[in-house]
Structure 1
Amino acid sequence: MEDIAHIIAQGQENTARANLTFIEKSLFAKKLSNSGMTKDTIRSALTVDDTLLSRMLAVVENVPDPVLDAVGSAKGVGRDRWEELKKLVLIPSKAAIAIEFVSGEEFRHSTPENRFDVLLNHLKKGKKPKQQASKAAERAWALADNTVSVSTKDTGKAFTMALKSKDASSFGTYVSEQLERLYREFRQTENDQTGD
């Protein structure tokens, strides 16, 4: 009991005096947990609630040790940003990238204050950029007397055709009835061109 009271008093004193960062408190919580202290004791020592303690432990249990060691105290980096890093490194390939990156030149040449940001930005850069929707190719065709006009739109994945004007309905019906023949002719032309 005396040991526990001593740990609680020492933890509270260190937390108050040293103005520990989020990650320093989290590592201390992990150390106490690994030494067999109960969550109640750890919460009292760090003066945190159960939710915050769970988050602290989740960060230090999931961010690889080489990354934690390399980043250091990370002054000014709070819980939310550490949780963002934790979510990224939960993906095994990202964890491997993080470990490799912290032993590289770019990371080593960054200042201790910037190391966390440099790492986080590097991991975020690895996200696949959103593919921009390719602009649909549009074409128009019409007879000189405007009895029918056709507009087409080709997105690469879909091709749409719109018929307008006086004969649009009857011409559209005719075209749709000819689709099987047109498709066979198209395939034959393709085969003739490729030699298949």
Structure 2
Amino acid sequence: MSKSSRKSIVASFGMLSAELESKLPDDQQQAAPPAPAPRVGAGVIGATHRAIEEIRTERDLLKALVESGGGAIRELDPSLIDPSPYPDRLPDDDAAGFEAFKRSIETEGQKVPVQVRKHPSSPGRYQIVYGHRRWLAAKQLGKPVRAIEVEISDLDLVVAQGIENASRQDLTWIERALFASRMDDAGIKPRDIYAALSIDDAELAKMRSVYRSVPIDVIEAIGRAPKIGRPRWLEFSKTIANDPESLSTARQVLSEARERSSVSDQRFQRALEAIKPSSKVDQDSTAISDASGRKLGAWKISPKEVRISADGPLGVEFVKFVGDELPALIERFSRQREN
């Protein structure tokens, strides 16, 4: 098989999956709206039309193979399947969505098969190309998972997974950036990353500025952060790039946030606020230091609010201490008012 046909078949896998999933009820999948077409030259349009016709032909062949059975769809024991070596999701704080998804599979069955390949190093086992949620749902339900087995290289696997991701709306910006990072680590060429994630050079540069500055353990500690978009992630990474020592503060804040069972967006916000450079100290601000002279931060009081800013990990501990002491202060305030 030629290199060009191999790539177009990989693209067809993603398009076929998107087409099949568009037939599911809204609670299982949502079809992505078509992206507006940019203005391009006539030569490019002609080449694009020819490529689309080739893809449609291959897609129709694949679809016919799936619908006719023909040994294409198999039922596999989910315990024999391992996730993709290039994960594209971060842990989700809200388990309710997945539980609803799992119930729909339990009651209505698995309508769209997952795609798997033979495990490259473990005979008798498989790896997921895509369809991780369907596989996990079947595994937790104790049911066989319906799967299509394909022969696919590591390179094609990660590109096919990216193509399938591009049609999904539920991946957050940082999940897409993290997937780009894994493609980068796998030696995928930038032009293939562009195609897989439907992004351009400028967007990949922004993603790289984040995942090359923010360590993976910090990103995973924050999680999906569905309400946090590109601008705030760029601010977060820029702050860390300018002050590498702020990483220890971020890790400490995230560890404490985990213990408090805060959600992903809150964890991001707390970490960002803890490491952001303090704005210029107003004349009314007062430095806070401990008995040995170590600076903890600063505080400022106005008629309507008191602001305390932390300086370093010790300052973060102090702010947490003040928060824990607030109930006792309120009680003292109430007693004083009564007297």
Q: Is TM (by shorter chain) over 0.5?
A: yes
The answer on 1:78 being equivalent to 2:255 is: no
Cα distance in structure 1, aligned partners of 2:157 and 2:244? 39
Aligned partner of 2:177 in structure 1 is 26
Instruction: State the Cα deviation string for residues 73-104 of structure 1 (Å, max 9, x = none).
Output: 11021110000100111112212211222222
The sequence identity of aligned pairs, in percent, is 33
More helix by percentage: 1
Cα distance in structure 2, aligned partners of 1:6 and 1:67? 27
Structure 2: which amino acid aligns with 1:80? P
Between 1:68-77 and 1:11-20, the stretch displaced more is 11-20
| Pair 31,127 (structure 1): closer, same or farther in 2 beyond 3 Å | same
Cα distance in structure 1, aligned partners of 2:232 and 2:238? 10
The answer on 1:41 being equivalent to 2:203 is: no
The answer on 1:67 being equivalent to 2:209 is: no
SS of the aligned residue for 2:207 comes to: helix
Structure 2: which amino acid aligns with 1:95? L
- What is the 5 A alignment of 1:41-190? 41-90=192-241, 91-104=243-256, 106-109=257-260, 110-124=262-276, 127=278, 129-132=280-283
Cα distance in structure 2, aligned partners of 1:107 and 1:6? 33
Shift of 1:57: 1.4
| Pair 58,111 (structure 1): closer, same or farther in 2 beyond 3 Å | same
Give the conservation status (yes or no) of the 8 Å contact 2:253–2:270: no
Q: Note the residue ranges of structure 2 that are not aligned, 5 or more in a row.
A: 7-152, 286-339
Task: Let me know the Cα RMSD of the aligned residues.
Answer: 2.3
Give the count of matched residue pairs.
132
Larger Rg over CA atoms:
1
Cα distance in structure 1, aligned partners of 2:200 and 2:259? 35
Cα distance in structure 1, aligned partners of 2:219 and 2:157? 27
Structure 1: which amino acid aligns with 2:278? K
| TM-score for both structures, normalised by structure 1 | 0.60
Cα distance in structure 2, aligned partners of 1:107 and 1:11? 30
Cα distance in structure 1, aligned partners of 2:269 and 2:215? 17
Structure 1 runs of 4+ off > 2 angstroms?
Answer: 1-10
| TM-score for both structures, normalised by structure 2 | 0.36
